[in-house]
Structure 1
Amino acid sequence: MAQVRIETEIAATPEEVREIILDFARYSEWHSTFIQNINTIPPGKNSRKLLQGETLNAKIRGVKLVPIVKSNSSTELSWYGSTMGGAFSGKHYFQFIESHVTPGGTTFVHGEDYDGWMTWMFGKGIFGIKRSGVVRMYDGFSKDVKARAEEMKKLKDGIAKTQSDPWVKL
């Protein structure tokens, strides 16, 4: 098995970061490279209410997938997907952990545990010919999540300030 795991510190609460991840319809507003789209089945189902065993429609780097939800809790969203006859399979996950580094923030963990028969391509070492590209994609997505979460947090905090003091200068 090969694993890719990226940890990113975000100055927003785990709930706020989770909300961004679950808002599939708005991904195109803040991310345009790795995950092209994710849709619930049936379309329009509330992603916050996804249950283990339900499926999604996803397009990731041009590849269409129908992954199965493994977990959807306050601390993790994960799914299991497979393509090309099981060559590339794995559990993809997003974790929202209360940060011990960023006060009031989140340690956002984005990763995948690969188990398909072509897994060696994502492993460490000389045979992991695709690993660096995958790490860059996951890191880029995580940076986009961080930027979006921190931008939304500033907006939310700014609105709260103006509601308590309409003369405050933002």
Structure 2
Amino acid sequence: MGQIQVEIEINATPEEVRNIVLDFARYPEWHTSFIQSIATSPPNQNIRKLYQGQTLNVKVGGVKLVPVVKSNTPTELSWYGAAYGGAFSGTHYFKFLDSHITPNGTMFVHGEDYDGWMSWLFGDGMFGLGRSHALKMYKGFAEDVKKRMEERKKLRDGIAASQNDPWVKL
């Protein structure tokens, strides 16, 4: 068994962060590496209505997967998927938790609990050959989510502030 998990503080509410992560169609605008695409099955379904047992179409690291949704709640989206005949399988998750550090912020948790017969590659110790590479990919995605969210929030706050500026209305 192996586990990869990263956490990052984001200065936005859990709902706002969840909205960024669930906006699968816009991933190419802000994230171009680890997770290439996620799509509902059937296509164009309302993402908030994903239900346990439903499948997704995911492309991760060049590998196409058809994972099964395990959870879709305000605080978590998770799915179970497998690749290469079950060699690499596990539960992939995103968690949107209230921050204990940032007021009105989010502790964004992104990870995977591996259980495939090659999962030892993601474990601790000298045999965890894939662990450091996987951690970099997960951390990169989390940092991209943070950057996207905080840029959007800054833009939104700037627009709101300009509406109160009397010189803008001239």
Range class of TM-score, shorter chain: over 0.9
Query: Aligned-pair RMSD on alpha carbons?
Result: 1.2
- Partner in structure 2 of residue 15 of structure 1: 15
TM superposition score normalised by structure 2: 0.95
Query: Aligned partners of 1:78, 1:92: CA distance in 2, in Å?
Result: 5
Instruction: Read off the aligned partner of 1:157 and give its amino acid letter.
Output: D
**Structure 2 gap segments, 5+ residues each:** none
* 1:58 partner amino acid: V
1:161–1:168 Cα contact (<8 Å) kept: no
* 1:115-164 residue CA offsets vs partner (Å, 9 max, x unmatched): 0000100000000000000000000000000000111111222233334x
Alignment-derived partner of residue 131 in structure 2? 131
1:23-59 superposed Cα distances (whole Å, 9 cap, x missing partner): 0000000000000001100110011111111010011
Percent identity, aligned pairs only, is: 65
CA–CA distance in structure 1, aligned partners of residues 158 and 74 of structure 2: 25
Structure-1-length-normalised TM-score: 0.95
Pair 1:167 & 2:150 matched: no
Structure 2 CA distance for aligned equivalents of residues 11 and 160 of structure 1? 17
- Counterpart in the other structure of 2:96: 96
Q: Could you tell me whether the CA contact under 8 Å between 1:74 and 1:96 is conserved in 2?
A: yes
Aligned partners of 2:166 and 2:112: how far apart in 1? Answer: 47
What is the aligned partner in structure 1 of residue 72 from structure 2?
72
Paired positions, count = 168
Q: Deviations over 1:65-121 (max 9, x none)?
A: 001001111000100010111100000000000101111110000000000000100
Does structure 2 conserve the Cα–Cα contact (< 8 Å) formed by 1:70 and 1:79?
A: yes
Please say if residues 77 and 95 of structure 1, whose CA atoms lie closer than 8 Å, have aligned partners that are also in contact: yes
